[in-house]
Amino acid sequence: ELKVEQNPLFLSMQEGKNYTIYCNYSTTSDRLYWYRQDPGKSLESLFVLLSNGAVKQEGRLMASLDTKARLSTLHITAAVHDLSATYFCAVERGYGGATNKLIFGTGTLLAVQP
């Protein structure tokens, strides 16, 4: 059974600092997604990573995928308060088949302190 683990679960960081959130998954997968969720709000798609070595960047966030290590990272550069949210990675299983579904990680609650 596919399991997705994120760490840390909670991250408190100061503005201007850099940090990385890790997402490990247990079996081979076809795609990996990163989502952001603000308190009381729905999930917003950040990145879709499709292949080994894929790297995507938007603003202060950069996501990468290593399918051999079954690891994705979400790197935060020079954090600002607006980045405070819960970040989820999600791994897709069964692309193109009848078993397609996303398995979500536990989420990382990021709090950026001034």
Partner 1 sequence: EAGVTQSPTHLIKTRGQQATLRCSPISGHTSVYWYQQALGLGLQFLLWYDEGEERNRGNFPPRFSGRQFPNYSSELNVNALELEDSALYLCASSLEGAGEKLFFGSGTQLSVL
Contacting residues toward partner 1, per CB under 8 A: 30-31, 33, 35, 41-45, 48, 88, 90, 92, 94-107
Q: Which is nearer to partner 1, 98 or 114 (CB)?
A: 98
CB of 107 to partner 1, least distance (A): 6
CB of 67 to partner 1, least distance (A): 15
CB of 60 to partner 1, least distance (A): 21
Q: Which is nearer to partner 1, 42 or 68 (CB)?
A: 42
The alpha carbon of 74 is separated from its chain's Cα centroid by a whole number of angstroms, namely: 6
Q: Which is nearer to partner 1, 9 or 55 (CB)?
A: 9
